[in-house]
Structure 1
Amino acid sequence: MNNLPIEQVLPELQHHLAKNANAVLVAAPGAGKTTRVPLALLNEPWLAGRRILMLEPRRLAARTAARYMASLLGEQVGETVGYRVRQDSKTGPNTRIEVITEGVLTRMLQEDPALEQAGIVIFDEFHERSLHADLGLALCLQSQELLSGDLKLLVMSATLEAEPVAALMNDAPIIRSEGRAYPVETHYISRRPDERLESAAVRTIAEAMRQEPSGDMLVFLPGTGEIRRVQERLSELRLDASVQVHPLHGSLTSEEQDEAISPAPAGHRKIVLATSIAETSLTVEGVRIVVDCGLSRIPRFSPRTGMTRLETVPVSRASADQRRGRAGRLGPGVCWRLWSEQEDRRLAERSSPEMLEADLAPLMLELAAWGTADPTELRWLDPPPAAACGQARELLRRLGALDGRGALTAHGRRMAGLGLHPRLAHMMVQAIPLGLGGMACEIAALLGERDVLKGAGATPDADVRLRLEALRKAAGSGRPPRQGAGSAPAPAEAAAAAHFAGGFSVDTAACRRVRQEADRWKQALQLPLRADASGVDACGLLLAFAYPDRIAQSRSTGRFLLSSGRGAMFATLQPLAAEPYLVAAELDDQGAESRIHLAAPVTLAELEQHFSSHIEQEELVVWDRAAQAVRARKRLRFGALLLKETPLAKPDPEAVAGALLQGIAEEGLRVLPWSKAARQLQQRLQFMHEVDREWPNASDEALIAGLADWLAPHLSGMKSFADLTRLHLSDALADMLDWKQRRELDEYAPTHMAVPSGSRVAIDYTDPCSPVLAVRLQEMFGLAQTPRIGRGHVPLTLHLLSPAMRPVQVTQDLSNFWKNTYFEIKKDLKGRYPKHYWPDDPTAAQPTNRVRPKPQ
């Protein structure tokens, strides 16, 4: 135990923890921090017999670390050293060091915020910056501050930027161990290959085995799909019988994972095909060769769409160095990187914290259970993004976990106690009163596991019911398809039969893991462990509880509208494509329309029965431009989905009038029944407005803007443009005036003017700034001055006409016309109209509307 580099700094670490509440330990890969530090602190006086909790980001690392520490003490795991991870726990009454995964710490804090049984919490591999690690540290810091002043915290990492973490932990001291690593020879390629990743990986594996005839190999691949395809291609190479190929990823059983990391038998050579699970925290025995594809698959959440998608991205420099270091743990090694040195220089230094990329609904539920509605009340290395927090709160409110104030409801507390994603927890809680709790547990487990259906190069049908049937049949509890005489097979059973006949098979190992997970949730909910005997057609309803924002309505075959407003589609036509309603449990969130990977049908009747509180009834009174009429409808809406629409028998009269006004505003005043008198009245009103701004503005623009004020009271019983023919427009315009203005209108803006000849001539108010009186010149004889209107402020613009009613002069100064212009015009008119009367003194002459005036 004294030959690991970490041993050199353990006294310094013990010293600082004796004097400080917190510390940060930075130790290179392979230094021994994971297994040596907890043992070194076990008998510290300040621990006072309490437990050491050490967090590991992965279940495999937690189990492996606990077993190794127990072996160093000469004990079995579960005695002094134990572990607690999802689906597996080995602890006892004498356990002092408990290695746990991060989600387990969150549950422990919710049950005992002071962590009274623990003296220190160790955050191992903190550089991975998982959501639960950040949350756990934030909660522990607040617990330390408010509840448990003697709780100590230690953050450990190999590639951590220590200073910001130390500052967050109240300026904690930083201890550094340089560690010891054997040299690793590194090979690059000139550029990334154009061939598929699997082909490049297999070719590099073969070359590495040729150049390195001994030593086990660790191959890093993005995900389980690539691992499976590389494994298949390696089998085609007909490797030597002494070469064993093992997959290593999170969805394997603990036995399969242990087999992958254990030493190869004597005389055998091992190739381990792993995801980033093997990047840190554990040593894969015997490895001295690493092949790294340089890619990692991470979940990224979109607050815009509310969906998480898996995205394949280049690894960071820190991750690449961790992977290469796997070859130098036990001796000199070699690493093949499937990227160029130029690409290597462009790698990001560190991966982005999960906090900045993840769905924060679980985080916000945990904070609400903690009693913190506002994340800013806690101390974070990277605060949760506001947009993602808002999206999470909205989902939790929709699931009934939070009330309008953002506080946890009783339903939300029960959800939080399950430690599941809030969607699945809500589904389980809602399912129990319906007698569907067991099925909800099965569905939750199915969604958390890789697909239990598999086929050669083809994509299985998206129907979740098929997977539920497959799970039950694999467990030996599925009912055979009901195809007796006189009965047709149930829809899901018929689909399952056709599906399996089409060449897809059941992954029995995946089914086994799903069954174990489902049974664990049944135990937690105190449900019978026996297989659920209910039909699988309720699957869609249960998924609707979990994904109310992904309830989808058919728009056309294969294309759907989600209740969130997003579009979704099937990449290939399949039976579900014809369903009127379904629930999309898995979408890829790519492009304008997400592709549906997993779904199940749901009926309109189920939605109406179980989601009545989500269904909004609206009375819609709108203008139908095509029909030129108001349409009144009653609608049932579920988010963006229109479930039903029927005519509205008695719409609100004000709403009808408002919709009709909208149509008039869109089409303009031309649709109103304008008479000559109504148009003149509008012009007279506008003239008075120009004279005196206290008078109403009657311009077209002002009338359009004020339709609700002057026109709406006159639209009673009208619903269409055709009905407007009943409108008395002059009355509506006149109602814009008060009693005084009504009395003054005829005086100051008369419709006609009595001229000297005795004729009543209409005044033209087309130009409200310059009203026109068009009158024959002879009818104005004897009038010296221009007539005025508008309280005497506005002279009429006189259009003086010839006997043929053609303008011969336009003037606003009649006196000047008689004096200066009349005599020139007289010569012309007298020549053209010799029989007419053309006096020498027009101001003293008798006006006439005839050829000549009547004798006096």
Structure 2
Amino acid sequence: SGKTTQVPQILARSGLVEGQIVVLEPRRLAARMTARRVAEEMGVALGEDVGFQTRFERVVSPRTRIRFVTEGVFLRQAQRDPLLKGIGCVLLDEFHERSVFADLALGVVRAARLQRPALMVAAMSATMDAGQAAAYLSAPVITAEGRAYPVSVRYEPGADGAPVWERAARAVRRLVDEGHEGDALVFMPGAFEIDRTVDAVRAELRVIAGGSAFDVVPLHGSMPADRQDAAVAPAARGRRKVIVATNVAETSITIPGVRMVVDSGLARVFRVDPRRGLNALRTEAISRASADQRSGRAGRTAPGVCVRLWTEWEQAQRPAAETPEVRRIDLAESMLMVLSMGFGPFEKFPWLDPPTEDAVLRARGTLESIGALHADGMLTALGHRLARIPVHPRLGRVLVEAASLGVLERAARWCAIVSDRDVVQSGGAAQLVRLTPDGEPPSDIASREELLLRVESSGFRNARHEGVEASLGACREVASAARELVRAATSGDEEFGATAAFTGDSFARVSRALLAGFADHVGWRMDAQRPHCAMPGRRKVSIDPTSIQRGMGFILALEVREGGRGDQVHQSLGMVTPLEVDWVEHAMPDRVSTQTEVRFSDELGAAAEFEERVFDGIVFAQIVRPLRGREAKAAAHDELASRVASGELRPATWDESVDQWIARVRCVAAWFPERGLITYDADDMGVLAAEIAQGCARASDLDSRPVLDIFRSALSWDEQQFVERAAPAALALASGWKMKVEYAEGKPPRGRGKIQDFYDFAGHPTVAGGRVKVVLELLGPNRRPVQVTEDLPGFWERLYPDVKKELKRRYPRHEWR
């Protein structure tokens, strides 16, 4: 329909707008390219009547009448001037994307119109919920039917398990083989996938007829402006193009000549990660509305075709539209903006879709933790300072602290590295650790900073250093962001430094600054040889294998990723940098304490006094002092008794005879319940274990204790004698040999002996006064069982003749009756 380029021009010519026409675009690329297109159509130089402004570029002049800006730039202006003086109309383009900044901008404009009724506003989109926005603004809905050509849509998910870039490349090849005309546009979620898709498409086209006529180019927001312009420019005469892009090509800009679209169905989406405390980009399936937008790019100038790399069934399961960002991202930055513009409590802001209560509480907690909010919910002086820095408040707090410590430029680089795209294109921990600056410990952030500095010193031409391949585009973006952060952080005169003097080299000071914004991301690595860490309020935490952090001690992790499900959930720490104990104690003295207690030492096998330094319940330093004499015995008694009762400790004198005595008593108690014998239950064992541990100072002292006598003494003399009679340890046989009887609770007693030992035994052996038969294992001369029986007379009568015949043949020298 051309709404993005035509509506601003129509308004400019109408004479209805008093002041500047500001068009909000969700992306820098769209703002710059649309401004250029409108300037060309109006026949004016870019930066004169038509201009644009993004975070890193400003091409405007006092004459500029139509200004294309990103949503963040507009909100920064609104912070300084909530009434938007000098602006006559605000157009929110591609409003269906529903970024939180777009929602904020809409609310800001609506609030400004209460005092400036002449201020005009329009929300524009091809797929938005027009009725909701119209009701919110008390405005009519205007529908502009654009010219669209038919697009045939095919679902070709491809081979299971194949990378999405390989499936996309094959789809491009099929379309070219089928003879489709025009250029191709391939949608991928991010630069990583784009680079691989470019390589895969080139490889596929290289081997087919006509493939050499295609130029395969990437397009994403972090590319230099000249390369972006080249990517969307018409193909040269006799050439065709395959543009592999993120969703920057989904809306706002039209790429001429595109007749084929291959859609991965994926996009990078911001979602809050409560464990990280920052918004994180995640790769997710796009909505049906977004898929329609993408397929429509093939039908802007002629009929086209779209291949979707998923199934038609999956398409039906996808959400109809994107979830508004206000419902899925961290709102600390938004809360800071709203409060800095004087709108009062965050919850009272006129949201189109209000945020959840949990999200509001989480945002408030973050701002309070960094000192940006008073207890009444209003901004502190520090909060007002942070509101002027265009980054997440956590990172802003780091910058303010760094400025007071004299390391602002380095901290700005660290913040830019953390908040922007990774500067590392390829290279593992073994290569990255080589970039550790001299005299500093291995740090995931410092090594990336060193890579950035080396790339920057080469004029952004040399990407490979120490075996690590840098992303030149990401490095340019991070370097520009760092410079912008330095300017923003030095814009105020206030001083908000550390509360106490802090000294150290630049690494120590920038680490101390990080603690000001990420005090809740501190952990303790317990063993240099293992990745496991302890972090307050978390479990199953380990440092990611790609991290170069080494050694035990305090660490700060700027990324906390979660994996697994249910009981198998684990958290992996990334962007890890080490911390010294002194830095943590200086930054958070109220979270560090010393505790002293007496308890059992497994290493000493005895009670000891433990003096421990504790950080939020995590012990990070310990002094163990052994106890002596009576004090040692008194302190050790309960712990030794508890471990004996649980079976964790077993004195050397606790042998089989003790276990058999316990089993014998339990069996007799079951056979003769009327006797009321003890059963050595948990309570009984606790009492007896306490007696066993009496006078012991360490575990080794238990080995000399008379365990069997202690257990027997739990019964009276008469009860002991009754047990001996009812459950004898052995039974005398006619041969004169005593057969040992083994007892087990709930099972019949068992005995074993050679067949010859039972020749003159009448009946079957029993215990408990004849109530309970003993299970017999009858052994051959080789001491191996030949029969197990509870009926010895029956054995003699029915089975013995055959057994005898066989055994007598094998062992003729033995007695056989």
Report if TM-score (shorter chain) is over 0.5.
yes
Partner residue of 2:111 out of 111, 130, 142: 142
Contact 2:547/2:576 (CA < 8 Å) preserved in 1?
no
Q: 1:317/1:534 Cα in 2 relative to 1: closer, same or farther (>3 Å)?
A: same
The answer to whether the 8 A contact 2:608-2:624 is kept is: no
The equivalent residue for 1:157 is: 125
Q: Map of 1:732-771 to 2, 5 A cutoff?
A: none
1:112 alignment partner in structure 2: 81
Moved more, 117-126 or 582-591: 582-591
Query: Which amino acid is 2:60 matched to?
Result: T
Are the structure 2 counterparts of residues 151 and 344 from structure 1 closer, same or farther at C-alpha, using a change threshold of 3 Å? same
Q: Provide the C-alpha distance between the structure 1 equivalents of 2:283 and 2:546, rounded to a whole number of angstroms.
A: 27
- One-letter identity of the residue aligned with 1:58: R
Deviation at 1:607, TM superposition (A): 1.8
SS of residue paired to 2:563: coil
Give the Å deviation of 1:330.
1.3
Match of 2:454 among 473, 476, 481: 473
Partner of 1:435: 406
Partner amino acid, structure 2, of 1:175 = I
- The TM-score with structure 1 as length reference comes to 0.64
Counterpart position of 1:598: 575
Structure 2 residue 322 is the aligned partner of structure 1 residue 354:
no
* Partner SS for 1:516: helix
Q: Give the whole-Å Cα distance in 2 for the aligned partners of 1:136 and 1:607.
A: 39
What CA distance in whole angstroms lies between the structure 2 residues aligned with 1:192 and 1:300? 30
Cα RMSD over matched residues? 3.4
Q: 1:203 to 1:168 in 2, by over 3 A?
A: same
Question: CA separation in 1, counterparts of 2:378 and 2:113?
Answer: 24
**Correspondence for 1:451:** 422
Q: How does 1:505-516 map to 2 (within 5 A)?
A: 505-516=469-480
Work out the CA distance in 2 between the residues paired with 1:457 and 1:634: 37
Please name the residue that 2:146 is paired with.
179
Q: Map 1:331-342; keep pairs closer than 5 Å.
A: 331-342=302-313
Amino acid at match of 1:297: R
Q: In the alignment, which residue of structure 1 is the partner of 2:338?
A: 367
In 2 relative to 1, CA 193–562 (structure 1 residues): closer, same or farther, beyond 3 Å? same
Change (3 A) 1:297 1:119: same
For each residue in 1:82-133, what CA deviation from the matched residue of structure 2 results, as whole angstroms up to 9, or x when unmatched? 1111101111011111111111111111100111111121111100000100
Q: In the TM superposition, what are the counterparts of 1:173-212 in structure 2 within 5 Å?
A: 173-189=140-156, 193-212=160-179
Determine helix, strand or coil for the equivalent of 2:457. coil
Aligned amino acid, residue 133 of structure 1: A
Distance 1:291 1:213, change over 3 A: same
Residue 558 of structure 1 corresponds to 531
Question: Residue 247 of structure 2 contacts residue 267 of structure 2 at CA under 8 Å; is this kept in 1?
Answer: yes
Paired position in structure 2 for 1:402: 373
Distance 1:477 1:247, change over 3 A: closer
Partner SS state of residue 82, structure 1: strand
Q: Is the 8 A contact 1:83 1:100 kept in 2?
A: yes
Distance 1:441 1:305 in 2: 19
- Could you list the per-position Cα deviations for residues 571-619 of structure 1 after superposition, in whole angstroms to 9, with x for gaps in the alignment? 427641424122112232334332233222121112222x135534476
Whether the 8 Å contact between 1:562 and 1:640 is mirrored in structure 2 is no
Equivalent position of 1:37 in the other structure: 7
Of structures 1 and 2, the larger Rg is shown by 1
Q: Does 1:88 align with 2:88?
A: no
Mapping of residues 711-726 of structure 1, within 5 Å: none
Q: Mark the CA change 1:513 to 1:297 in structure 2 (over 3 Å): closer, same or farther.
A: closer
Distance in 2 (alpha carbons) for counterparts of 1:44 and 1:180: 24
Aligned-partner Cα distance in 2 for 1:282–1:563: 47
Per the TM alignment, residue 157 of structure 1 is displaced from its structure 2 partner at its CA by 1.0
Which amino acid in 1 is paired with 2:271?
A: R
CA distance in 1, matches of 2:331, 2:66: 30
- Matches of 2:419 and 2:274 in 1, distance apart? 21
Q: Is the counterpart of residue 121 in structure 1 residue 90 in structure 2?
A: yes
CA distance in 1, matches of 2:445, 2:83: 42
* Equivalences for residues 596-675 of structure 1 within 5 A: 596-609=573-586, 611-612=587-588, 615-617=591-593, 635-637=613-615, 639=616, 641-644=618-621
Per the normalisation by structure 2, the TM-score is: 0.67
> Does the 8 A contact of 1:202 with 1:230 survive in 2?
yes
Distance 1:371 1:565, change over 3 A: farther
Instruction: Please give the alpha-carbon distance, in whole angstroms, between the structure 2 residues aligned to 1:246 and 1:616.
Output: 54
Matching residue's letter, 1:280: T
Structure 1 pair 192/277, CA: closer, same or farther in 2 (3 Å)?
A: farther
Partner of 1:544: 515
AA of the residue aligned to 2:474: A
Q: For 2:546 and 2:152, locate their aligned partners in 1 and report how far apart those are by CA, in whole Å.
A: 50
Separation in 1 of the partners of 2:539 and 2:95? 37
1:294 is aligned to 2:294: no
Show CA shifts across 1:65-88 (max 9, x none).
Answer: 111111111011111111111101
What is the letter of the counterpart of residue 519 of structure 2?
Answer: P
Give the match's secondary structure for 2:124: strand
Q: Could you say what secondary structure the match of 2:67 adopts?
A: strand
Structure-2 residue corresponding to 1:270:
241
Unmatched runs of 5 consecutive residues or more in structure 2: 433-442, 492-503, 626-634, 644-693, 696-817
Structure 1 residue aligned with 2:281, among 307, 310, 320?
310
1:79 aligns with 2:56: no
Aligned partner of 2:720 in structure 1 is none
Equivalent of residue 68 in structure 2, options 72, 91, 99: 99
Is 1:463 the counterpart of 2:463? The answer is no
Is residue 285 from structure 1 mapped to residue 249 from structure 2 by the alignment?
no
CA distance in 2, matches of 1:56, 1:429: 30
Q: For 1:677-826, what aligned pairs fall within 5 Å after superposition? A: none
Q: Distance in 2 between matches of 1:234 and 1:119?
A: 47
Q: Following TM superposition, by how much is the alpha carbon of 1:233 offset from its aligned partner in structure 2, in angstroms?
A: 2.3
Change (3 A) 1:144 1:563: farther
CA distance in 1, matches of 2:426, 2:264: 25
Preserved contact between residue 471 and residue 511 of structure 1 (Cα < 8 Å) = yes
| Counterpart code for 1:36 | Q
3-state DSSP of counterpart to 1:103: helix
Q: Structure 1 641/403 Cα, relative in aligned 2: closer, same or farther at 3 Å?
A: farther
Does residue 1:55 correspond to 2:24, yes or no?
yes
Q: Secondary structure at the match of 1:402?
A: coil
1:614 to 1:244, Cα distance in 2 relative to 1, 3 A: farther
- Aligned-residue offset at 1:316: 0.9
Distance 1:58 1:329, change over 3 A: same
8 Å CA contact 2:525–2:552 kept in 1: the answer is: yes
In the alignment, the residues of structure 2 paired with residue 373 and residue 410 of structure 1 have an alpha-carbon distance, to the nearest angstrom, of 16
Distance 1:355 1:366 in 2: 14
Task: Give the count of matched residue pairs.
Answer: 597
Give 2:535's aligned amino acid. Answer: L
User: Within 2, Cα distance between the matches of 1:444 and 1:278?
Assistant: 28
SS at match of 1:600: strand
Q: Give the aligned residue type for 2:119.
A: L
Q: State the Cα deviation string for residues 140-185 of structure 1 (Å, max 9, x = none).
A: 222222x43332221111101111111111x311111222201112
Residue 45 of structure 1: CA displacement? 4.6
Instruction: Give the CA deviation at 1:238.
Output: 6.2
SS of the residue 1:93 aligns to: coil
**1:564–1:306 distance in 2 versus 1, CA, 3 Å:** farther
Q: 1:477 to 1:124 in 2, by over 3 A?
A: closer
For residues 24 and 13 of structure 2, the distance between their equivalents in structure 1, rounded to whole angstroms, comes to: 19
| 2:422 maps to 1:415 | no
The amino acid of 1:166's aligned partner reads A
List per-residue Cα deviations over 1:195-231 (Å, max 9, x = no partner). Answer: 2212211111111122235311100112222111112
